[in-house]
Each structure stands twice: as structure tokens, then as C-alpha cells.
């Protein structure tokens, strides 16, 4: 027997749940089905965001609580380090599993939710017909798909952000819990390599080994990460996380009969991998519009063209000259005001912020690869 809905949403990841939390409050009359492959086994990743004036407040808008908030960041390379007090801005970390569970609870009473439903086929014959692995069939007028496809990108200079991280507990006070180590660079001629540290307490931190690479191997990164952890001596491993994210502007479908969201819609910032703020900004732009087949174009995510262009130029340098990347980041954070950098990273720069970021980057190398 086929069950019929107004909207079917495939996948219960971050973009789907953030969208539904807001959407179902405004349109409770619509019959919505959310199909989740396996909510209990979702990758236990940490979501981080920049917050402060002129940036959407995720805690208030989505009723989710951060695991930790920091007011300081640092970067280092060779014998140089940069430390910044971010006030009135800050850096927040959200526990992945807790955040997704909280978002699901917020929208669950207004939707039909089915877990352990793997979609194997979607057909369109007037309505959308979604067929799952257990041979169930669901139909809807409108389809929202958050699955990650093999996408096409607008640049041949394609990098991937790959990381392996461990949340560890030390027997003694080890970390400065007031400061995020955003990037601790290691010299590497072939790839961009750095350590990222989120200190939750003086004894507990998430330590990640991150690469920006053309063909990253997560097993090799894990081995390097394990070597890095040896410098801390004895520790207790609390959990691990890993991932590979594309660093490119996706060529999205401007037409099409259904709505893509998430990674395949370009909702991850190419140069950084941040997604929560980009998703939240997209949801705010939708306002009170009711989703249907006639207004899909209003709901399609539109990447900020100027930011995407700047990211593309920046990543072009990283692709051809990875050994120069630490200097680019160190120059950016040392020369530009922290407010300009934060707003730029959070997709909310003013024109003066964009100018400040451009002026902070080494002009000779940027111009060289601008025309390449």
C-alpha cells in the first residue's frame, strides 16, 4: 500500500533537520515524511560555528546548546604564532549527535518519521514514488533530497578536506581551555597539513589532524594523527571522528523536479568546510513560503557568488602551491581585523570586510594564480 504525503524528505542530517525545525512551525498543515537510513549510527562529528553581531544566533533560532564557547583563537607556523581575542565574537562547538537528536525531537511531533529506511529508488510519474529497501512505497507531490551524490564542480583545481580526530582525556591539566588552536601548521610540500584543537576543559580536548589534499587517504591521516597523540603521553580515548569534505563550488541544478539540500546543494563553504551558518542563512531567506512544485526555485540554495569566487581563487593557490598556504592563513589572521575575518568566514561580510580580507593576503601570489 502506498502512503501519500505533501513532502518527502530523504535523509535526516543537519540540513534536513534544521530546515524542518523551522518549516513545520510555519506550515503545520502539510503532511511531511522524513526517511532516515540509520539515525543511531550517524557519524559522531562536531559542528563548529563563528557567532556574534550580525551573524544568525543558532542557539536562539534552533534551540540547540553548544558544548563549549571560546573567546580566543590561535594559529602557528614554524616559530610564529598569532593569538586573537575575538570579542564581541566567539567560536562555538556543537556535539553532533546531541544536536541532531535535539533537532529531531523539535520537529518529530509535526512529521511522520521513519528510521532504518534506506531509499533504493525514486520514480516520478506525476507524483514522486520513493521505494525503500524493505519494498515500502511512499508518494508525494514534492521531494527534498539531502543525500550526498557524486557532484560536478566548477573548477579543475579540486581539493578535499580530510580529517581524523580524537577526543581525549589527560591525567593532568594539559590544555588552555580558553583558546581554540584553529590551525597549527606542519611543513609539507605536497599537502596542507595542520592540527586543530578544541579544548573543552584543561584535561579534555578534541584533537584533529587535518589535510587539504588532492587525493587524501584517511588511513594515512589516521597514522599521522596517532603519531601526533604520542607527544601527549598517557591519555584516555573518549571517541573518534573522521571525514572527507569536497573543497569546491558545486554546479547545482537550477531546474530539476526536486529540491537538493546539504552537500550536494553547495551548503558547505568550499574554503573551510563550515556548513551550519550557511544552512541557517538559507532557511532564513525562505521566510514563510510554502514549498510546492511551482516554487522550487525560491527554495534552491544560491551560493554567495563573490565569496565563492574568492574561495575559488584562494583554493587555486592552495592547489598549485600547498607549501604557501600556511603563509596565506597567517597573513590573513595577522593583518585583517578579527571582526572582518569572522564575518567573512560566517558568510556575512560587509564590502569593507571583503576589501580587508583581500588586502591582508599576499598580493603577488594571489594575482599570479588569478590569471592561471
49 has a pLDDT exceeding 90: yes
Residues 6+ apart with CB under 8 A from 96: 42, 43, 44, 45, 46, 47, 241
Q: Are strands 192-199 and 179-186 parallel, antiparallel or unpaired?
A: antiparallel
Q: Cell 551524490, residue?
A: 149
pLDDT for 360: 96
Rounded mean pLDDT, 183-190: 95
pLDDT for 41: 59
CATH architecture of 3-66+93-152+252-299: 3-Layer(bba) Sandwich (3.50)
Residue with the bigger pLDDT between 251 and 336: it is 336
Alpha carbon 266 to its chain centroid, in Å, reads 10
Q: Collapsing DSSP states into helix, strand and coil, what is residue 162?
A: strand
pLDDT for 1: 54
Q: Predicted confidence band at 45 (pLDDT cuts at 50, 70, 90)?
A: confident
pLDDT for 255: 63
Rounded mean pLDDT, 251-256: 69
Cell of 351: 564590502
362 has a pLDDT exceeding 70: yes
Residues paired with 47 in a beta bridge: 94
Question: Which tens digit of pLDDT belongs to each residue from 112-153?
Answer: 999 989 999 999 999 999 999 999 999 999 999 998 876 667
Residue 264 · residue 176 · CB < 8 Å: no
CA distances from 112 to 104, 164, 361 (A): 11, 35, 49
Residues 6+ apart with CB under 8 A from 344: 307, 353, 354, 357
Question: Which tens digit of pLDDT belongs to each residue from 315-325?
Answer: 999 999 999 99
CATH number of 159-247: 3.30.70
Q: Cell 581554540, residue?
A: 180
Helices 351-360 and 305-320: crossing angle in degrees, nearest 10, is 10
35 has a pLDDT exceeding 90: yes
Residue 360 · residue 332 · CB < 8 Å: yes
Residues 6+ apart with CB under 8 A from 363: none
Domain boundaries, the chain: 3-66+93-152+252-299, 159-247, 305-370
Neighbours of 44 (CB within 10 A): 15
Query: Considering only CA atoms, which of 61, 94, 10, 48 is closest in space to residue 282?
Result: 61
Beta-sheet strand order (sheet of 90-95) = 46-51, 90-95, 68-70
Question: Which tens digit of pLDDT belongs to each residue from 194-215?
Answer: 999 999 999 999 999 999 999 9
Give the Cα separation of 95 and 60 in Å (integer).
16
CA distances from 150 to 19, 234, 267, 325, 346 (A): 23, 41, 15, 27, 26
- Residue 94's H or E segment, with its range, is strand 90-95
182 has a pLDDT exceeding 90: yes
Phi–psi pair at 149, nearest 5 degrees: -100, 170
Rounded mean pLDDT, 259-286: 92
43 has a pLDDT exceeding 70: no
Whole-number average pLDDT of the chain: 92
Question: Which tens digit of pLDDT belongs to each residue from 79-109?
Answer: 999 999 999 999 999 999 999 999 999 999 9
Residue 211 · residue 161 · CB < 8 Å: yes
pLDDT for 150: 66
Q: Predicted confidence band at 365 (pLDDT cuts at 50, 70, 90)?
A: confident
Give the Cα separation of 72 and 180 in Å (integer).
6
pLDDT for 371: 67
Amino acid at each position: 500500500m502506498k502512503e501519500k504525503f505533501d513532502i518527502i524528505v530523504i535523509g535526516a542530517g543537519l540540513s534536513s533537520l534544521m530546515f524542518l525545525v523551522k518549516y513545520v512551525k510555519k506550515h503545520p498543515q502539510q503532511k511531511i515524511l522524513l526517511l532516515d537510513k540509520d539515525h543511531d549510527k550517524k557519524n559522531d562529528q562536531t559542528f563548529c560555528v563563528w557567532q556574534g553581531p550580525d551573524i544568525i544566533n543558532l542557539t536562539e533560532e534552533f534551540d540547540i546548546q553548544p558544548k563549549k564557547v571560546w573567546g580566543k583563537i590561535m594559529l602557528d607556523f614554524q616559530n610564529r604564532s598569532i593569538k586573537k581575542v575575538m570579542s564581541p565574537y566567539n567560536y562555538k562547538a556543537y556535539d553532533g549527535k546531541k544536536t541532531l537528536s535535539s533537532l529531531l525531537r523539535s520537529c518529530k511531533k509535526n512529521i511522520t518519521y521513519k528510521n532504518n529506511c534506506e531509499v533504493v529508488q525514486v520514480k516520478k510519474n506525476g507524483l514522486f514514488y520513493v521505494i525503500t529497501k524493505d519494498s515500502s512505497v511512499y508518494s508525494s507531490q514534492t521531494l527534498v533530497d539531502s543525500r550526498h551524490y557524486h557532484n560536478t564542480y566548477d573548477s579543475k583545481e579540486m581539493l578535499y578536506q580530510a580529517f581524523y580526530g580524537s577526543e581525549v582525556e589527560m591525567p593532568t591539566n594539559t590544555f588552555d581551555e580558553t583558546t581554540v588552536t584553529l590551525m597549527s601548521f606542519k611543513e609539507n610540500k605536497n599537502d596542507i597539513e595542520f592540527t586543530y584543537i578544541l579544548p573543552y576543559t584543561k584535561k579534555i580536548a578534541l584533537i584533529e589532524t587535518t589535510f587539504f589534499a588532492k587525493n587524501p587517504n584517511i588511513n594515512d591521516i589516521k597514522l599521522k594523527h596517532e603519531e601526533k597523540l604520542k607527544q601527549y603521553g598517557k591519555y584516555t580515548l573518549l571517541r573518534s571522528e573522521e571525514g572527507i569534505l569536497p573543497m569546491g563550488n558545486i554546479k547545482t541544478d537550477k531546474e530539476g523536479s526536486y529540491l537538493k539540500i546539504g552537500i550536494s546543494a553547495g551548503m558547505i563553504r568550499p574554503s573551510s568546510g563550515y556548513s551550519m551558518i550557511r544552512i541557517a542563512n538559507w532557511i532564513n531567506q525562505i521566510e514563510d513560503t510554502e514549498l510546492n512544485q511551482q516554487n522550487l526555485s525560491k527554495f534552491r540554495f544560491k551560493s554567495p557568488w563573490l565569496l565563492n569566487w574568492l574561495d575559488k581563487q584562494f583554493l587555486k593557490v592552495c592547489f598549485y602551491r600547498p607549501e604557501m598556504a600556511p603563509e596565506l592563513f597567517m597573513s590573513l589572521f595577522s593583518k585583517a581585523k578579527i571582526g572582518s575575518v569572522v564575518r567573512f568566514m560566517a558568510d556575512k561580510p560587509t564590502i569593507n570586510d571583503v576589501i580587508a580580507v583581500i588586502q591582508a593576503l599576499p598580493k603577488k601570489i594571489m594575482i599570479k594564480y588569478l590569471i592561471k
